[in-house]
Every structure is written in C-alpha cells, then in structure tokens.
Amino acid sequence: MRNWGVLLYLEVSPCLNHRLPPASLKMMVLGKTVTAILLFFFLFAAPSTAEIKSIKIRSDNRPMILFEKFGFTHTGNIIVAISAVSATSFLSQPDPSRYGFFLLSEQSLIQVLHELQQNPNFCIVDSKFIALLFTFRDLYPSPHSSFHKSYPVTYPGEYSLFFANCNPESLVTMDVRTELFNTDIGTTKNYLSAGLTQLPSLYFIFSLVYLCFLGFWFSTCFKNQRSVHQVHILMAALLTTKSLSLFCAAQDKHYLNVTGTSHGWNVLFHIFQFINVALSFTVIILIGAGWPYLKSYLQGKEKKVFMIVIPLQVLGNVASVVIGETGPYIEDWVTWNQVFLLVDLICCCAVIFPVVWSIRSFSKVESKAARNLTWFCVVVIGYLLVTRIGVFAMKTIADYKDQWVCSAAEEMASLVFYMVMFYMFRPVEEDEYFGLTLDDEGEYEEAPEMAKG
C-alpha cells in the first residue's frame, strides 16, 4: 500500500462536499477510483526520482500533486523554492494556510489514511503524521509570492514530496524548483536516490559486456561467412545499440548523481533505446518468420505485424520519453503510462504470431527447425514475462535501498535472452533450414534433393 490511497481519497473527497445526486456521485466516485487505482499501479513500480527540477504549475485545481519520490539516508536534504505564486477560488477568498508542501513517508501512510477516513473535511496539511514543510502563509515578504528554504532529512527512508490544495474550487499557479539529495560523503551531494546510486557502475559494466558480446559475434560471423545472412547483420546492430544505450544510461545516471542534471546524455539514451527496442522486436519477428534462412521477403500477414509494431514503437517511445523526462506532477502522467503499457502489451503479443505461424508450417516436416522455433517461442515468452511482470513484482516488494537490484535483474534477463537467441540462430556452415523450401501457399516442405536422399 502506497501513496495511491491518499491520492484516491483526495480525488473523491471534494465530490462528497457538494452533495451531488446519488447517481452522479456514484459515477464520479467510480471514475476517480479507477484513475487512482491506475495511478497506484504506475507509482508502485516507479523508481525514486532524482535531479534538480524546475516545474511550472498553471491554473491547477488538483487537491494533491506528487512532485518527487526519493530515498533518503540519515544525511538527506531537500530544497524547495516557489515563485510567481497565485491562487484563486470561485467560491470564496482562499485560505493560504490550506495550501502546503509536505513530505510523507511510507510508514506514515496508514495513519494519514485513517485520519482522512475519520473526517471527510480533514485537510492533510493538518495531519500530525506528515512532515509539513511550509504553507502559502509563509510566503515572504507578504503579500509577495516567493519562498525558498532548505530542510534536513535525518530519518532514513523513502519519502514523497506532495503539494496539497484543500481550498475547494481553487486554481493554483506557481513555478516550483526542487532539489532532493543525500550528503553521505563529506559535503558531496548525491542526487540519485539511496537505492539507485549503483546504477552508473551497473550500466557501464553491462555496456562493456555487450561490447565483448559484439566482438564475439563478429568473430563467429567471420568464421562462417558463407552462412551469414542479413538478419545476422541486424543482430550485430542490435548488440551495438544495446551497448550504446547502456553506456548513455550510465553517463546519464552519473551526471544526475553528481550534478543533478543529465548534460544531454538523456537525449542520446532515448535515441539509442528507441533504436534498440525497435531492432529487438524486428529481429524477433524476422527470426520467427523464417526470413533469415528461407527468403528475403515477407508474406502479407508478416508485413501486417510490422505495420502494427513499428508505428506503435514510435508511440511507445514518445510515451517513454514523457514518462522519463517529466514526472507524476503533470496532469497527463497517468494517461501516458496507460499508453506505454498498452503499446508494450500489444507489441509483446504481436511478436509471438510470426513464431507460431512458422512453428505450424515447420511441423509438417520432421525437422530440427520446428523444435528450435518451438524453444525460441518459449524463450521469448519467458523473457517477456520476466522483464514485464517479474521485474515489476520485484520493484513492488524490494526495499527502496535495493531498487538497483531490480535494474540488475532486468538487464541480466535481457543478456541471457540475447545469448540464447544468438546461439540458437548463429551462422553455421550447414543448417537444416536450407533443406526446406516454400511451396506456393507459403508453407514449408522438404527440398526435392533431400526427399530423394
């Protein structure tokens, strides 16, 4: 149970104060509940964020806004600065003490929910279980609209930085700048969460591993030049982009940890990550379709898979960039998460179809190819289950200080999958696939010379 409970309550509670008709109230509560559950789903697996962020809030009426989630050590610190603040209400003059920034720990969430359930009109800034940083009453000098202060965090744990708006029907506009960091070694600031400081080294090591993997793949292709096909070149490109994306991720996390900004490495990471994911799905589809061994063209149904997967990958990459470069403070953050999840699910299901079609075709002849594709299908499904469901489950149960283990497990699963796939479909001098041909209906059959033998 996480911050979703507070968000759910504060989304629904304003409706309770307006005495709507029962049917309308029921539908509104249902809609808010579904939205909050979806928000919980994405927040549950979302890693603790970092870096220095400058955020613009414009005419926002949300009762609660989550800005950051961060894992602090005993020497943590948070700096919040707001400026250009204005608040208006359609009902009455808003009370500045009903607007406030606060920290909420995972341990205090149950008590806060209990307070909210006991009193529907309770304002969370009055809770004794939160760490209230400041309210709009503290804006200095009154009636000016700016505030800047640093707060030490001496109790280790994972905290979420919220903004609460308890004035009904009010709109808030402000510019917010946040810094969350730990100072464990002297006065050096670490802008990565306590559970993510190992990521730069982790990604760099995996980048080197994939670089060595690429060298070994080139050696294998050179020794079997006569059996190298276009898909083997794509597989080499896949390893190249994977190594580059991990290297950029390592640099991105390093600069985030040291300076609080990415210095442009996040842009390179998103570019290489998109190419890598697109190549990954492309290679799986082509291998499953038998394209590297039997033909240099795709059939109509296989082309349709590409027409579905490639545009969806573009949309998924856009959603990934929005999610990675913004945060839950934007109003459409849940929607972009829904888009990313839906696109990823459709693509994962789509890549299975070419493999299944080829297995059905190969099953008409007794061949090792059918068995290889069957195992390949099992490997692909296992890889998708581990990286999509298994890693998500790990993130929900792992302690905030061990979040880097989830990233390590995901990268290890990807590495194992690549190693198995590359081994199964490596270039060899004699391959049983070459003993098969395509009939007029696109089905596989034994070549005439093999049948005679």
- In terms of pLDDT, which residue wins out, 448 or 241? 241
Residue pair 281/351 in contact (Cβ under 8 Å)? The answer is yes
- In terms of pLDDT, which residue wins out, 176 or 297? 176
Residues of the chain with pLDDT > 90, as a percent, come to 38
Give tens-digit pLDDT for 252-293: 999 999 999 988 899 999 999 999 999 999 898 888 777 655
Residue among 87, 65, 67, 63 at smallest CA distance from 13: 63
> Given a cut of 50, is residue 305 above it in pLDDT?
yes
pLDDT average, residue stretch 116-132: 86
- In terms of pLDDT, which residue wins out, 71 or 353? 71
Residue 361: band (very low, low, confident or very high) from pLDDT cuts 50, 70, 90: low
CA atoms of 208 and 214, how far apart (whole Å): 10
Backbone angles phi, psi at 133, to 5 degrees: -85, -55
Q: How many helices (H) and strands (E) does the chain have?
A: 14, 10
What is the rounded average pLDDT for all residues in the chain?
80
User: Does the domain at residues 49-182 carry the CATH identifier 1.10.10?
Assistant: no
Residue pair 207/251 in contact (Cβ under 8 Å)? The answer is no
Task: Answer yes or no: pTM beyond 0.75.
Answer: yes
- In terms of pLDDT, which residue wins out, 47 or 149? 149
Residue among 235, 252, 239, 253 at smallest CA distance from 208: 239
DSSP codes of every residue in 53-87: EEEEEEEE--SEEEEEEEEE-TTEEEEEEEEEEEE
> Given a cut of 60, is residue 201 above it in pLDDT?
yes
Q: What SS3 state is found at 262?
A: coil
pLDDT given at position 12: 43
User: Does the domain at residues 199-447 carry the CATH identifier 3.30.70?
Assistant: no
Give tens-digit pLDDT for 35-49: 444 444 444 445 566
CA atoms of 392 and 385, how far apart (whole Å): 10
The residue ranges of every structural domain in the chain are: 49-182, 199-447
